Structure 1
Amino acid sequence: MIRPVFLLPVLFAIHASSQSTRPAASVASQYSLSTSTTLPFPQATLKNPSTQSFITSNWGLAKGRIQNGASNLEFVNDPFTDAPAPGSTSNSSAPVLQVQYLEGSFQANNASGAQFYAMWNSSGSAFQSMLVTYEVAFDADFDWVKGGKLPGLRGGPDPNHCSGGDQANGTNCFSSRLMWRPDGDGEVYAYVPKVNGICGDTGVMCNDDFGISLNRGSFVFSSGQWNRVTMLIRLNNPTNVANGQVILYFNDAQALEHNNIYFRSADVIAVGGLYFSTFFGGDDPAWAPTNLTHTYFRNFQLFAGTSPSDVQGSKVKSTAQGRMQMLTALAGPVIIAFSVLLGLFI
């Protein structure tokens, strides 16, 4: 079970040469995320069956199980002990979590990557803000193909949707993962309601059937070494205002920030925990790797708080209002067309 600990007030000294970088704990302190937890890793390497048992016993999984790709997980020796993430002063020799992707595999199935939801609600509080930080490495010869998913955060009472084309409606769930794209370009990939013209915003790319891409290429993953990602989510508040926040740091340098995200239309949605989701894809074979390949993960840490976003934002029309507005907009052209046709027969 994931057990929370509480942060003590800390002052973080940053050297003049690195003023543009922010360690995860410093970001958490700025936003008063006073509860934290670290996902435990074993002291020694573990083969697959033992890896599955370790994760299901210690990482607080939804429904107590690994959703997809359990056979693709293994705790192994760090393959990049001489290639720490930029800015790191030391490198650990502890085991890391390896995820394999089989040749020709795509989507989150048993042949490609792995997926599970590590919920974190043992404190009894409904978290309104959460930060996740971890390090990820890719095989030195990693073929990026068209792209793939990486872990992020999710929330809401529905633990099964808001991914794979199942849309967020404001009351069911949301998800905010990372993606790699060709040549290692990175982005935040989110399933949230598309409101207030967000699809026209700079740095936002929408897909009617899937999620939205935020600031594709604003950071770039390197293969053959460790990369550190830190993502902060602050839910919109009140629930009729689009003022939710997504802020992403890459190797401790801020890569993107959006302050107009609409995560929810009801208080039933809170931030639940880590959405460990990684696979090639995409929904067709063009996304699949051409050979067996791997990613590696370590140093998962979560910070959380009970305060949502407090930035300014625009109100969002209710679903009913939105439908009425759409019908009204359509009614005009329909009436005109009918009048024209009627005139032809008079």
Structure 2
Amino acid sequence: MVRFATLALFLLSATSVVLDARPTHKRRAVCNTDTTTTTKTVTATATKVNVEAVKTSTTKTSSGFKTVTKTTTSSKATGTPDSSDDNGDLSGSVSANALFPVPGVNSGWSVAKASIPQAKDVTLTDKTFIVHKEASTSKRPVVTFSGKKAIRARMTKGSVTPGTSPAGGFSFYSPGATLNGNSPIVDLSKANEMTFGYSIFFEEGYNFNLGGKLPGLYGGINDDVAATCSGGRHNPGCWSARLMFRQKGEAELYLYIPPGVNQNDNKCGKKANSKCPSTGYGNSVGRGTWNWTPGKWMTVVQRLKLNTPGKADGEAEVFINGKSVLNVKGITWRTNKAAVARGVQMQIFHGGHTKQWASPKDQDVHFADFSVSILN
């Protein structure tokens, strides 16, 4: 059974990162930069992190999985939404195996109509998610785009965050999808292993500039502390596992994990502008293992397995279109068992926070097919 997880934010000290690349695939794990703030340190045992990049792999499926293909008659996906209507179902071609690439799902939800029996079907609207801690100027209209119900992120020229002028992208936190408007369909705080996935479409000709953040899972000892692991802020009570896009569409897993767990700075790589967490920022892992390709839908899923406090047995895995491309083991996500999964850190913006990271033009990114599962 393939197990996936979202990776490790390594920490401000020294952890041993081992890259187990296959002979036919080039791979790197590097640590990078975000924004500035203060850093706390705690004492913890050293963690050995093994990163395996996989160019191609075969995905196992369970008997409960099925593939559903739907046809679409919408206009071409050129970066302009077909309409701003926020009603109706998703269409387009989507595979359950791409959204739920790991068998053994106990429960979950999906806004795609290609889900599995264990996952509740949800319609994507403005009220699908229990939104909190949203950036004040964040904009996330639900539109019909390329045959799918999607959230549109407008990356305004000159923007580096959703909360400053000019604003671009969006930022909010959510425990997940809801059917009644009050409580999430599944309680991720009870999960030891889980997945979160979505489809993403960078418009044709998208200019990635220096890069930016993409949605991922997050957690912590409570809701407020859980939302602090970003922007250069490290806290032993929280963790986050966002994805990133870099120059020319290079992709990576971008992690914040508890400070104080030793890390070997020499294993961070020598790529330009890549820094270990001693700079105060998050960890770039597996950069360039895959690329974001403008002009087409791509489905990304992250599998995350929490570690047992006191043990470095956490895992993170990334799937692209149903195939495992990055697998990380030996992660210390938490030193406190109360630092459970809290939901999804829904963010997209260009940054860093300085102007050299800014979106060089008005351009759009669309998100669809959001799906979550609990494995155990």
- Fold shared per TM-score above 0.5: yes
Matches within 5 A, 1:1-346: 10=63, 23-27=98-102, 29=103, 32-39=104-111, 54-55=125-126, 57-62=127-132, 66-70=134-138, 72-78=139-145, 81=146, 93-110=147-164, 111-120=167-176, 123=186, 126-156=190-220, 157=222, 158-169=225-236, 172-193=237-258, 195-197=261-263, 199-201=265-267, 206-207=276-277, 208-237=279-308, 239-306=309-376
How much identity, in percent, do the aligned residues show?
Answer: 25
Superposed CA RMSD: 2.7
2:100 counterpart SS class: helix
Deviation (angstroms), 1:254: 1.4
State TM-score, norm by structure 1.
0.68
Are the equivalent residues in 1 in contact too, given 2:208–2:248 (CA < 8 A)?
yes
Give the partner amino acid of 2:310: N
Size of the aligned set, in residue pairs, is 258
Q: TM-score, normalised by structure 2?
A: 0.63
Give the direction of change, closer, same or farther, for the CA distance of 1:242–1:199 in structure 2 (3 Å limit): farther
How far did 1:26 drift?
A: 3.6
Q: Which runs of 5+ in 1 are unaligned?
A: 1-8, 15-21, 42-52, 82-92, 307-346
Aligned partners of 1:135 and 1:299 also within 8 Å? yes
Q: In the TM superposition, what is the alpha-carbon distance from 1:74 to its structure 2 partner? A: 1.5
Runs in 1 of length 4+ with deviation above 6 angstroms? none
2: distance between equivalents of 1:178 and 1:187?
6
Unaligned regions of 5+ residues in structure 2, if any? 1-61, 68-96, 114-123, 177-183
2:66, 2:154 → 1: CA distance?
39
8 Å Cα contact 1:33/1:129 also seen in 2: no
Measured after TM superposition, the shift of residue 107 of structure 1 is: 3.0
Match of 1:5 in 2: none
Distance 2:112 2:157 in 1: 30
C-alpha displacement at 1:109, in angstroms? 1.8
Cα distance, 1:292 vs structure 2:
1.0
Partner of 2:11: none
Aligned residues of 2:99 and 2:299 also touching (Cα < 8 A): no
Higher RCO by CA contacts (8 Å cutoff, separation 6 or greater): 2
1:225 is matched by which residue type in structure 2?
A: K
Q: Which has the larger radius of gyration?
A: 1
1:38 and 1:268 map into 2 onto residues whose CA distance is: 27
Structure with greater proportional helix content: 1
Letter in 1 for 2:235: A
- 1:163 Cα deviation after fit: 0.5
